[in-house]
Amino acid sequence: MLTAVETLNLPTYEFRTAERDGKRTVYDPVRSRYVRLTPEEWVRQHFVQYLIQDLDAPEGLVAIESAFEFQGQPQRADIIVHDQQGSPLLLVECKAPRVSIGQDAFDQGARYNIVLGAPYLVVTNGQTHYACAIDVEARSYRFLDDLPPYDHLVDT
């Protein structure tokens, strides 16, 4: 089980946690409800707050665990940040801190992005983060040193 003090390579944020039905939960302000506090959820909640508080992504344009279909199968994207028109701008694939970020994680994000078509992709385990700018039409990408603020993502 996860302890609430798991160290991540992200800024520290305040979270409301509670014990519900014998399970530890965390309040998700985007979904407006408590969710089970798994290691992956701990990463997801931190990264969402990083996007909102540090990169100025409008909370109303952030979606968590959005459902979509890929090759006829239901899937869920960890985090999608939309532009003002509602189009996907950034897809974030989150893994638990102890899961290494390898080709499988990138492949999962890339498969999801075939459907979503976001121009930016991040794969993170809360300790290691990889950000890419995607050229959907050319089916190419380039790694970014840092994920730029929301306004810059929209302007490019």
**Contact (Cβ atoms closer than 8 angstroms) between residue 26 and residue 15:** yes
Q: Is the pTM of this model over 0.85?
A: yes
Domain 17-155: state its class: alpha beta
Strands 120-124 and 88-94: parallel
- Does residue 1 have a pLDDT over 70? no
The Cα–Cα gap between 78 and 95 comes to 9
How do residues 89-147 score in pLDDT, each as one tens digit?
999 999 999 999 999 988 888 888 888 999 999 999 999 999 999 987 887 889 999 99
